[in-house]
Chain A
Amino acid sequence: METLKRIQILRADSNQTVDAEIIRLTTDVAREKIDKVWWKLPSVSAEEMNDEGDFHWDWERLARIYSGKILHECVAVLSQENYLEGAMVYQFNAKSKLEPNKESVYVGWLASAPRNRNWLVSQTFYKGVGTMLLYWALRESYDAGLGGRISLQSLPTPSTVQFYENKGLVRIDLTQPTNDLVDYELPESAALAWLQKQGDLP
């Protein structure tokens, strides 16, 4: 597996950070380490799985379509247990909805592994993997000269809205129905603030 960056992630049981890697997701890895593995959770019922928005996502197919391109990326977080703790697909040629003459990175698919969702399992393995992936998309946007702008579509559940507001993501259209995916964007100013807070920019 191709390592893109060494990172640290937070163990849920001890609150200790441990080493992990952001890797490029290939079709084989997506099939063997996500599609065949993630939903094998004995304590989670079929109904609970069906309620998860990504239960039917086919990561192998996504990797087949989007990996190996310049304007798309498929990545995942690999833990020391050789388990993929989250994955993401994003693209670089999206229009910014806040600044239509500029581009943003569009996060099309992002998911933490089901075993890391505290509403599904009683003891999760890692915390904040989704945050790490979103931050990676921000870094990629900045590195590509797009100012760190990222756009995404998400269900506006209370917990996600709280997280987005905390990070400075802006809801684009307040008239969009909240029972469907809603457009959000991280503007350049909030992206730069996040990069500075992480110590990646002076």
Chain B
Amino acid sequence: MMENKDIFDGVIGGRKLSKKFVKEEILEPNGSEPTSELDRKLSRLMALHPELVRFRRSNLAGLDEPTKRALLEDMYDVLGVTPLRNE
């Protein structure tokens, strides 16, 4: 149960992030929009952590779902990310 001190019902922000606080080397990937959440997650990880995929295929097209899941597990392993419960 959420306690009163945990309750927030207000407003945050309203301003675009200043350019000086954007990591310019991290670029929005080119190409078509991902067709699944798994593709989106992988594309995001590859964009944010390009060192992970330097020697791998950066194009997800043609990979089947089990391969994509294995790739995600590998990436999480390298990043030290424990898959969240309640996914």
Q: List residues of A whose CB falls within 8 A of some B CB.
A: 4, 10, 15, 17, 52-54, 57, 68-71, 91-95, 97, 103, 106-112, 116-118, 124, 127-131, 134, 139, 142-146, 151-154, 157, 159-160, 162-163, 166-167, 181, 195, 198-202
Contacts and interface: CB of A to CB of B under 8 A. Distances in A.
A103 to B, nearest CB: 6
Given A109-B13, A202-B82, A145 B26 contact: no
Contacts, number: 149
A109 B5 contact: no
Interface residues on B, range: 35 or more
A103 B7 contact: no
Contacts of A195: 84
Given A92-B44, A145-B49, A200-B86, A111 B11 contact: yes
A157 B40 CA distance: 36
A127 B14 contact: no
A145 B79 contact: yes
Contacts of B40: 70
A146 B76 CA distance: 11
